[in-house]
Structure 1
Amino acid sequence: MNYGDFHLPIPSNEPVLTYGPGTSEKKRLKEVLAELKSEEADIPMYIGAKEVRTGKKSSLHPPHEKSHVLGYYHNGDEKHVHQAIEAALAAKASWAELSWENRASIFLKAADLIATKYRPYMNGTTMLGQSKNAYQAEIDAACELIDFLRFNVHYLSEIYRQQPLSSAGVHNRLEYRPLEGFVLAVTPFNFTAIGGNLPTSAAMCGNVVVWKPAHTQIYSAQMFMRILKEAGLPDGVINLIYVDGPVLGKVCFSHPDFAGVHFTGSTGVFNQMWKTMGENISKYKTYPRIVGETGGKDFLLIHSSADPAVAATALLRGAFEYQGQKCSAASRAYIPSNLADEIKKQLKDGIKSFKMGTVEDFSNFINAVIDEKSFDKIADYIENARKDKKADIIAGGKTDKKKGWFIEPTVIEAKDPQYVTMCEEIFGPVLTIYVYNANKFNDVLELVDTTSPYALTGSIIARDRSIVELATNKLRNAAGNFYINDKPTGAVVGQQPFGGARASGTNDKAGSMLNLYRWLSARTIKETFNPPTDYKYPFLAEK
């Protein structure tokens, strides 16, 4: 029984540690990296109360050091998907009935565990498993994940307090219950925080979850799962499994208790999911919620009034941090003719100054791309541009897979604004620029809006405020997250809710109340204190 209104105030964003010379966090992180590399992890699936080891093991390797074995994870199959769903449904009633303050405390404790003793482990597994440098790991696997947990608890607390008006003699109220059935969370390799947020945001609302991470993110995903268990998450609420996508979809999307999917990944996969759900709609007990954040071909539009240093810095960081493997990474840029020479010079100088190598060397700004499939795809784009008369490689362009999946940050100058690398998502350290006539800015606005099917992030760089206003209005539908005089990456929970529309997803804004509403089902309750005893209304009488 509850005896109080448990309100959780808005938190502060988790401070980003610097890992500067001589800092205690740098020393500790290096110790943990050495510790993690000194042992081979045996990684089970987590289904209900069981740690499931199938014996069908696959090895995990740092993308920047493919000869090293971090450990092995146990592959699941179709029966394990069924087991995960059964475990989730078995846990559903008790989890939904658990009081909100006790549900919330589990996720707040998990946030505190990550902020303290597990911080170097979340960062370390992310650095080694996903080839992120210390800063990129810190803002993702520590700060953003902590923020998701704390801010979502606050937002859900605010939602629960929202109640309708009541008239005289009537008491109206809303209750927010979880969805009927289980939620499927499918998470990508590139952000540990997304891997943590997609299952926990749904679970926080009282739902039970089947969680399938990308195989290339399993090393950090299992660390987060262990933290959730230590924080008190009941068995079966979130079930972590390692299966192939088609196997997962075959079971989940034909199950009558499928209630929703929380997805981040490619547009093609999401489209196929949606199609399958549509074909199976008659099988479900309720219409499933479909929430997805997919691809991007994110732009940086530079006006003739821009500061060249601001533009070049936004491109160097926005295009090449984490090797361009961010949904929000700047991958196409429109540069005015009056600034082109200076911006290109600064881009070339910046790329020449980048150090590239392993994550253990903290002086490396660039590390490896995630795997061989990604390496080959990106390398093909670069090689095709090298041979094409419609494009010039003006910086970078080298690739090396001897020790790891290393691709040098590359700038392609396209002579045609519809050149393939201006249009297609590459998801790697490749930036394509197009130099336009500085007097034809309005034409370029139209070009930016129509070149790509995506609408995730974008930036305008300008000192002229009328141009800032014009671009903000004209590009209203071109980006769900729009930046002024900044790079198009680095959205912060509670500050810039993240998501895009068009082919970039459902724009349900992770890191805000909007996303949490998707995992709730509301019931309106009206209580009448003095109910009528006669059907007749006054208008029926003539006298």
Structure 2
Amino acid sequence: MSTQEIEDGLLFIGGRWREAAGGARREVVDPSTGRAVGTVAEADATDVDAAVAAAREAFETGPWAATSGRERARILYRVAGLIRDNADELLRLESLDVGKPVALCRPVDVMTAVEQYEYCAGLAQTLDGATRDTPLNAFAYTRREPLGVVAAITPFNFPLILSSTKIAPALAAGNTVVHKPAEDTPLSALFMARLLQQAGVPDGVLNVVTGSGRVAGEALLDHPGVDKIAFTGSTGVGRHAAAVAGHALKPVTMELGGNAAHIVFEDADVEKAIGAIIKGFVFNTGQFCMGGPRLLVARPLYDTILGALAQAVPGILVGDPRDPATVVGPMAAARHLEKVEEYVALARKEGGRVVCGGEPLDLNGGYYYRPTVIADLAPDSRVVQEEIFGPVLTVQPFDTEDEAVALANSTVYGLAAGIQTTNLARAHRVADRLQAGIVWINDWAMLDPAVPFGGVKDSGYGREYGPEALASYTRTKSVVVSLD
């Protein structure tokens, strides 16, 4: 399959590839080298208008919303098959665009997208209503209907996964979509537009506009033709998006920032815990809203865990994401690397002890940072309380279960949490007390399209994955037929 349009970086609107109305272009940078590898169209409000109009026309006059769930499922299954067939190209684009190590990109990013489309294809066939018993002299039933035009706004860290997380359920429910990928990482979004078209998704049902959040994103958020906003990104931008949606009374899904606590109790399996801890903070170079950057360790194990991390973490291979041996690649952009450097410098000022790492890695001009472990910070320090979004782990001791729970819940975030213990009763008891949308026990980042996740507190609201996600892309209509 030719990828010329993708390489040319055109917008995808109404089933056609086109330049931005204003002719502007944006560079795409390979974070492993810091060098530009191409350009994409820079959409403005005019382009967003065109994309929303195409989505609106496809919803109101096209076949998609009226197509049976079974037929939509067939098309979504074809999308999943095409992702499998094009796995090499997708992992190449994700690695080039985001700096993802290829060894992880195929089993994680690509296969997760496959599973999302397959799972939502199955759910598409379950969208039915119910009859309701009522004392009225009437026959009452409910229908689940699509919302209309969905604005899917996705971040830079998991472009393929987080776009599929929104597009697959939105399409399964019969909606049309305008997708605005992150300005730094647009390549897989454009490639996926071609795959969905090839699978049989009608023109206008999926539209992709690349460009800045400040211009294209803002125009999409504020567009009166959009019926729902599905957003993943920072809490600050999410607050603004939710405020705009609230003013227009639009439904939203907000998956925002995180700063998860990973609790290691004194009865934990230490070897298993160390593996989960490392995965929790270096996975995707720490650019993971559900990562585990705050480690809380029972005092009897504190020195043991720190010693094990000091020995294991420096051995993690950081390097070229195209090397199959690489575990940790570069940060996705120069500004993200600078943010990590600023936080580690702040940690030193706040009295933190750098156990290992604590510096960038000079490699081919890329945006690399060594995985870093920091001890001795106060629980209320900024480095502990704020979201760093890089391969940095802070470690704090605790003495009691109540203290562990209080420390875990002490930030404004509530996206994920983790527990290491061999005590089953404690695992359930503590999980119940943690303020988080998903809690992992004796591992980290166990995710599946059937299991919902999402935030509480400043981590947002609404759920991705599971039937809960599909429900959020529908509305319920009641029909009451008089029997008189």
Common topology (TM > 0.5): yes
Task: Note the residue ranges of structure 1 that are not aligned, 5 or more in a row.
Answer: 1-31, 282-286, 533-543
Aligned to 1:462: 421
- Give yes or no for the alignment of 1:498 onto 2:465: no
| Residue pairs, 1:294-443, within 5 angstroms | 294-388=256-350, 390-400=351-361, 403-437=365-399, 440-443=400-403
Q: Give the whole-Å Cα distance in 1 for the aligned partners of 2:436 and 2:230.
A: 21
The amino acid that maps onto 1:378 is V
Name the count of aligned residue pairs: 477
Distance 1:278 1:170, change over 3 A: closer
Aligned to 1:11: none
Contact 1:300 1:458 in 2 (8 A): yes
TM-score normalized with structure 2 length:
0.93
1:455 to partner: Cα distance: 0.7
Task: Note the residue ranges of structure 2 that are not aligned, 5 or more in a row.
Answer: none
Distance 1:503 1:66, change over 3 A: same
1:166 to partner: Cα distance: 5.8
- Give yes or no for the alignment of 1:72 onto 2:39: yes
1:486 to partner: Cα distance: 1.4
The one of 124, 127, 136 equivalent to 1:156 is 124
The one of 415, 422, 431 equivalent to 1:472 is 431
- Give yes or no for the alignment of 1:100 onto 2:61: no
The one of 17, 21, 25 equivalent to 1:51 is 17
1:484 to partner: Cα distance: 1.3
Divergent runs of 4+, >3 A:
165-173, 248-256
- Report sequence identity in percent: 26
Q: Give the whole-Å Cα distance in 2 for the aligned partners of 1:353 and 1:49.
A: 48
- Give yes or no for the alignment of 1:203 onto 2:189: no
- Give yes or no for the alignment of 1:84 onto 2:51: yes
Contact 1:399 1:406 in 2 (8 A): yes
Distance 1:246 1:325, change over 3 A: same
1:224 to partner: Cα distance: 1.1
Distance 1:100 1:306, change over 3 A: closer
Aligned to 1:509: 463
1:109 to partner: Cα distance: 0.4
Deviations 1:210-246 (A, max 9, x none): 1100022211111111111111111111110013223
The one of 511, 518, 522 equivalent to 2:476 is 522
The one of 240, 260, 264 equivalent to 2:228 is 260
Aligned to 1:42: 8
Output the aligned Cα RMSD.
2.3
Contact 1:122 1:220 in 2 (8 A): yes
Contact 1:370 1:405 in 2 (8 A): yes
TM-score normalized with structure 1 length:
0.83
Aligned to 2:242: 274
Contact 2:43 2:211 in 1 (8 A): yes
Equivalent residue of 1:185, what SS? strand
Aligned to 1:110: 79
- Give yes or no for the alignment of 1:482 onto 2:439: yes
| Residue pairs, 1:123-134, within 5 angstroms | 123-134=91-102
Distance 1:309 1:231, change over 3 A: same
Distance 1:175 1:419, change over 3 A: same
1:124 to partner: Cα distance: 1.7
Aligned to 2:255: 293
Contact 1:40 1:72 in 2 (8 A): no
Q: Give the whole-Å Cα distance in 1 for the aligned partners of 2:222 and 2:294.
A: 39
Distance 1:123 1:519, change over 3 A: same
The amino acid that maps onto 2:286 is G
1:249 to partner: Cα distance: 5.0
Q: Give the whole-Å Cα distance in 2 for the aligned partners of 1:276 and 1:176.
A: 26
1:167 to partner: Cα distance: 7.6
Contact 1:411 1:432 in 2 (8 A): yes
Aligned to 2:219: 251
Equivalent residue of 2:262, what SS? strand
> Which segment is superposed worse, 170-179 or 336-345?
170-179
Deviations 1:425-456 (A, max 9, x none): 0110001011233xx3322222222x211111
